[in-house]
């Protein structure tokens, strides 16, 4: 296994270091990294948490494709080699650990919470929904913020300020929520500078998503809705 190494204190640029690890048929890439860290080189640095494809922490490039390290088997790359790099389009902090601060800022910019024109008193009880209403946004709510779509996005590679697929899908999730009344407010963000119209619709964001969120669909829906709003009196929330 060849692993990207980069320590800004000593390295002028990222490099790769090769390690020989034992192989078992059920090993995933994250298992290989854990073996290296526990038995060969404790300085190898990467993120991981749940090991169940839920937390999104172990996003990395495996042989050039954004993957969750805990969800891709070493056997899929037999007889090798397996090359592990940090996610593209992000600054590297160390080895496989990237700086996600710009990603978090983009998520926050779409106001990913339920916005109400008037506060609802707690005494009024829950804002109930029918299963069919939940189904409207369920797909876009499955995002685990793994950032694989940002690594695969060719637009972010040349325009780092592009708000990006996950943020737009998250905005769409709340726009489709029957309890939300902030659609117009979000739309001004997602159709503004560095918004949906920067997307060239390559579709790689949806291709690499491990949860089937389909951010490309959210982007196209948002483009259509924003165009409709320009042609007709605004009917959004």
Give the Cα separation of 15 and 160 in Å (integer). 23
pLDDT tens track for 82-112: 999 999 999 999 999 999 999 999 999 999 9
**Dist. CA 109–CA 96, nearest whole Å:** 26
Contact 81, 32 (CB under 8 A): no
Q: How far is CA 167 from CA 10, 146, 182, 221, in A?
A: 35, 12, 15, 14
Q: Which residues pair with 76 in a beta bridge?
A: none
| Residue 51 reports pLDDT greater than 50 | yes
The overall pTM is greater than 0.95: no
Tens digit of each residue's pLDDT (9 = 90 or more) over 111-132: 999 999 998 888 988 889 999 9
197, 148 Cβ separation under 8 angstroms = no
197 secondary structure, DSSP code: G
User: CA 228: distance to chain centroid?
Assistant: 28
* CA–CA distance, 167 with 40 (Å, rounded to integer): 38
**Residue 121 DSSP symbol:** P
Q: Which residues pair with 139 in a beta bridge?
A: none
CB-based contact 191:197 (threshold 8 Å): yes
Q: Residue 19 — very low, low, confident or very high, per pLDDT cuts 50/70/90?
A: very high
């Amino acid at each position: 296994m060849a692993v990207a190494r980069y320590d800004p204190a000593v390295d002028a640029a990222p490099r790769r270091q090769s390690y020989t690890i034992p192989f078992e048929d059920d090993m995933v890439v994250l298992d290989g990294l854990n073996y290296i860290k526990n038995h060969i080189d404790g300085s190898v640095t990467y993120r991981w948490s749940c090991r169940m494809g839920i937390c999104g922490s172990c996003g990395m490039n495996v042989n050039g494709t954004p993957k969750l390290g805990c969800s891709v088997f070493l056997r899929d790359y037999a007889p090798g080699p397996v090359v592990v790099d940090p996610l593209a389009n992000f600054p590297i902090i160390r080895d496989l650990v990237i700086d996600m601060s710009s990603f978090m800022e983009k998520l926050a910019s779409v106001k990913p919470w339920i916005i109400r024109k008037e506060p609802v008193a707690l005494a009024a009880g829950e804002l109930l929904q029918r299963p069919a209403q939940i189904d409207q946004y369920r797909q876009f709510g499955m995002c685990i913020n793994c950032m694989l779509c940002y690594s695969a996005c060719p637009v972010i590679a040349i325009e780092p300020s592009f708000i990006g697929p996950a943020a737009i899908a998250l905005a769409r999730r709340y726009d489709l929520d029957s309890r939300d009344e902030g659609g117009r407010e979000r739309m001004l963000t997602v159709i503004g500078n560095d918004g949906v119209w920067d997307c060239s619709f390559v579709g790689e964001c949806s291709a690499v998503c491990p949860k089937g969120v389909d951010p490309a669909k959210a982007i196209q829906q948002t483009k259509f809705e924003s165009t409709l709003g320009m042609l007709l009196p605004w009917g959004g929330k």
